[in-house]
Structure 1
């Protein structure tokens, strides 16, 4: 999963990696992975953020549908 984080010690950006989340919370990656298993809401939040980030990327590269033109 290659997502980005601003690295400023605050909250990670949308769709951050487990490493980036662990750095933001100042815990190990193992802790983030354990939290994913122990806390369904935490896991769901990370997954939703990831999928939203992917959708934003897809939308950015997908051409808009052609609009019908009227015959003049």
Structure 2
């Protein structure tokens, strides 16, 4: 899988439920349980930035796609 369009991935990520976003972010190590104290918009913005920094956008896209197929 090639690296997804960042704008498209962000949009798709935000279409998930809060628990789905949380589960993906924790599973990929994009945030810690301490980050759950931060407001959601900031928490997931930071998680997306960490995914980009760690080169995990493709892996993130795979998780999002998997959940989209289940819907």
Instruction: Please classify the TM superposition score into its range, dividing by the shorter chain length.
Output: 0.3 to 0.5
- Computing the radius of gyration from Cα coordinates, the structure with the larger value is 1
Q: Report the TM-score, using the length of structure 2 for normalisation.
A: 0.42
More helix by share: 2
**Structure with larger RCO (C-alpha < 8 A, sep 6+):** 2
